[in-house]
Amino acid sequence: MDIPGCEILEKIGEGACGEVWKARQLSLDRVVAIKVLKPVLADDPDQVQRFLSGARAAAKLKHPNLVQIFDVAKDEGGCHFIMEYVHGRTLREVIRSKGKLPEKTALSIALGIAEALRDAWKGAHLSHGNLNTANVMIDEDGGVKVMDMGLASKADPVPLISSDKDSSFEGSPHYKPPEQVKGFIELDARSDMYSLGAMLYHMVTGVAPFEGETTMAVLMKHINGELPHPRDVRPGLSHGIAMLMSLLMMKQREQRPDHWSEVIRDIKKVKVSRILVHPQVPHGASTIAPSAVASRRKRRSSKCPAWAHVLAWLVVLACWAAFTYYWLNR
């Protein structure tokens, strides 16, 4: 592969739509990353237009938590864009190595993602559309960098659950919002909120949202399934973070927060252990199931304890004895 002005060093990643290479940009003597559209997609004018327009839109964004795009080009060799190289690991790799993250760490990562996506939506009306743990980088200082912004900002024209898409599915099925799975709906910021909630669930429980034998099986569960309550999976989690995930993963996007500013406010509240005040989530409205442990405790607490029954009978007997004594000695 030959990219004008760059010395290719090594291949560092590959996704459904392209390959990522580490390279040296000769004019500035700096290390960069280059994403190249796969040849099979480069022959499709619609895919090329989507790739280039998304990269150009993302290149206009400036935020410390977004991977900066330096250049976008189409030539005889195909389509590519040159972007900032991040020294670090993907969030997927971090979760695999640690199993589950401390609650405060996971909230800090979620906050960084939310702040980046807020600016992208506010500044360019741009949603991510394929937010997952593989396209979020954690740099050597613990900073958050969101990649591939804008490359999948609209839903596919057909439902993702179509059986013929199983082999060519783009991204991870574990974080897809129900409306994207169903298709025919343009995505917006609220769709990314669902994906962020699913990523937060994965970070703190160490369990990917839903598993299945096929991609389609996992996707269908976002429509019809429920995830175990996070406090049932990891009892030490706070009520606040569980409520946050429930709100972000509402099945109907109209029931999710309206703006990223609301999400950011709630994340900050949970980080400092403040209570989230929201209407009760109706059963079945969220992908997060009600807590089985809390329900058992509530049922137990609602039952009158045995000692209370004994005390009640003693009071009745005392009253009967007093009445009898009074009646016999009047």
Other CB atoms within a 10 A radius of the CB of residue 279 amount to 7
Q: Identify the active-site residue in 10, 76, 140, 213.
A: 140
Burial class of 27 by CB neighbour count within 10 A (0 to 12, 13 to 18, 19+): exposed
Q: How far apart are CA 117 and CA 127, in angstroms?
A: 7
Q: Which residues neighbour 194 within 8 Å (Cβ) at sequence distance 6 or greater?
A: 175, 177, 178, 248, 249, 250, 253, 256, 287
Active site residue 254: no
Burial class of 274 by CB neighbour count within 10 A (0 to 12, 13 to 18, 19+): exposed
Q: Sign (positive/negative) of CA torsion 146, 149, 155, 160?
A: negative
Q: Which residues neighbour 74 within 8 Å (Cβ) at sequence distance 6 or greater?
A: 48, 52
**Secondary structure of 110-132 as H, E, C letters:** HHHHHHHHHHHHHHHCCCCCCCC
Residue 274: which of 306, 304, 305, 239 has the closest Cα? Answer: 239
Residues annotated as catalytic are: 140
